[in-house]
Amino acid sequence: MPWLVRLSAAREDGAMQIGATEIIDTFAEAFRMRYTRLVLTALDEHWLDAAARELCGYGSSVIGCDAEIAVEQKVDAADTPDGRPGLLVMAFGFSSEALGKAMPKRVGQCVMTCPTTAVYNAMPESEEQIPLGSQLRYFGDGFQKSKVLDGRRYWRVPVMDGEFVCEEQLGVAKGVAGGNIIVQGIDQAAALASARRVSKALAPLAGVITPFPGGVVRSGSKVGSRYKGLVASTNDAFCPTLRGRVEGGRVESELVDAAQAACEIVFNGESEEAVGHATRVALQAAAGDGVPAVSAGNYGGKLGKFHFHLKDYC
């Protein structure tokens, strides 16, 4: 069948179902963050992919990275500023200042070094802007040149294959980070198959990124640790090998009886509405054979102001 329709239904006990998959009555807790968006172009798909891979590397979580960053969407050559193949890339940080430090470093080290690339501001209308070309221009050692077109300044930095073109600034706006679902599978293969369906379903959505590897997190975290200095540690409630451990009452499993593996899919969006829509798409894609339940990660509602209750998106 070309189309598979999964019907949501409320059980007698109040729990929600999508097909044979139970949707746990819980919520994903997300946070207010700042995001920026840029247009990356290159001569062809090979160099575009090479630049994107470098730019988005080590960009999964601000717990340990300078930004949460990933490709948002492809852009047709007809719609890019220079008429070449392009990608929209979104990056999230705790503050505009943090993004203002991270993005010039990432673009300078990962994009300017990649043959044929150029970078443009995808949010020129934003009231708040952070530096990009205004810092990278210094690499030109005095040979750099600039031009203002329609009120926007572009820098041309001489490099060994010609010139690196980069817009002076990147726009910044308020976004929402940390939307998520947790897929529970009867085994690792089932959990991974579900997680990949979710990642594939989220990929076309405008204004949404999944910054973790392949869009999937195996090492979901909780706040705090028994080790001093660590702000986060493994989410023991979803670790199948810890089920049944009662050491000091520390571990209370949140896996359903039939689940033997779990995967978290985290998504950031440009707005609360974008993350809500992504939650709905993710739940529909996650449900299926071998997935007895889908849950979500939260911190009791104490840390993030955005609570996406799964039952509202079935």
Q: What are the pLDDT digits (tens) for 212-261?
A: 999 999 999 999 999 999 999 999 999 999 987 755 566 789 999 999 99
Ordered by where they begin, the domains of the chain are: 8-30+176-313 (3.30.70.520), 33-173 (3.30.70.520)
Question: What is the pLDDT at residue 11?
Answer: 65
Burial 233-269 (b: 16+ CB within 10 A, else e): eebbbbbbebbeeeeeeeeebbbeeebbbbbbbbbbb
Q: What are the pLDDT digits (tens) for 129-188?
A: 999 999 999 999 999 999 999 999 999 999 999 999 999 999 999 999 999 999 999 999
What are the tokens at 160? 């060994």
DSSP run (H or E) holding 195:
helix 188-202
What are the tokens at 23? 């949707």
pLDDT at 5 over 70: no
Q: What percent of the chain has pLDDT over 70?
A: 94
Could you write out the DSSP letters of every residue in 105-123?
HHHHHHTTTSTT-EEEES-
Q: What are the pLDDT digits (tens) for 15-31?
A: 799 999 999 999 999 99
Which pTM value belongs to this model? Answer: 0.93
Distance in angstroms (rounded) separating the CA atoms of residues 50 and 62: 23
